[in-house]
Amino acid sequence: MSDEMIERALEDIRKGRMVMIFDADDRERETDMVIASQFITPASIREMRKNAGGLICTTAHNDICRKLDLPFLADVLACNHDRHPVLKGLAPNDIPYDTKSAFSITINHRRTFTGITDKDRALTVSEFARLAKDSYSLDEAEAQAAFGKAFRAPGHIHLLNSTPHLLSERKGHTELATAMMVMAGVTPTATICEMMGDDGDALSKEKAKRYAARFDLCFLEGKDIIDFWKRGGNGK
């Protein structure tokens, strides 16, 4: 894949357009629809829900995770092993393609009703992106107070925590999508959704490529994003 395709994808991200990211043949072998969270609208949620069909999640750069004190969900459950012993047996220690789950808590914005409608989920994501951007100018206490004031948990948006050094440690969709946000210069939180096939399995890479071509969307492979990132995020 040429650097020109990644540059085009970065420009599309800045414009609020979807891009498509395939992780790897030796990992999940899944393609995700990806958009910058700051540009999410009800139409974006509807597109992901109808044309992708997987789980709609929102990533957070590690800087944001630390500022808002976002825990990994596996750690929250581990803290409750004494009260609920069954949780110990449910530990995610056998993920076949990874060593750690990126899942954090689930949230709804406090102005949502049920939280699941396209309008409600778009509100939650866009307001989370707004807080994520603001958090860089707040201290931890201020950021966490603002988080609690604006959101409730559990909710219908699954947050995903990026690892501290992004693609140097973990190379999942959470890190790939967040790295693209960093390189695009937008608020470093992406909203992503796996593309599913009519057979109930993940949409094949070739079918995902055909979908991208049909709708003039950039299709990127994780290995090319990683290479571009390692070269400084500018292709040089």
The string of pLDDT tens digits covering residues 162-220 is: 998 888 878 889 999 999 999 999 999 999 999 999 999 999 999 999 999 999 999 99
The span from the CA of 178 to the CA of 187, in Å, is 9
Q: What is the pLDDT of residues 56-65, one digit of tens each?
A: 999 999 999 9
- Look at the alpha carbons of 34, 199, 204, 172 in this order and tell me if their dihedral is positive or negative: positive
Per-residue pLDDT at 168? 81
Compute CA distances 153 → 92, 150, 158, whole Å: 22, 11, 10
- Predicted TM-score (pTM) of the model is 0.94
The span from the CA of 77 to the CA of 204, in Å, is 33
Which residues are marked as active site?
A: 32, 57, 97, 108, 156, 194
**Hey, how many other C-beta atoms are within 10 angstroms of the C-beta on 223?**
15
Nearest to 109 by CA among 75, 150, 77, 163: 150
- Look at the alpha carbons of 190, 6, 28, 44 in this order and tell me if their dihedral is positive or negative: positive
Domains and CATH numbers, the chain: 3-230 (3.90.870.10)
- Give the pLDDT mean for 3-10: 94
Tokens of 78: 């581990």
- Look at the alpha carbons of 40, 42, 43, 44 in this order and tell me if their dihedral is positive or negative: positive
Helix (H) or strand (E) holding 34: strand 31-36
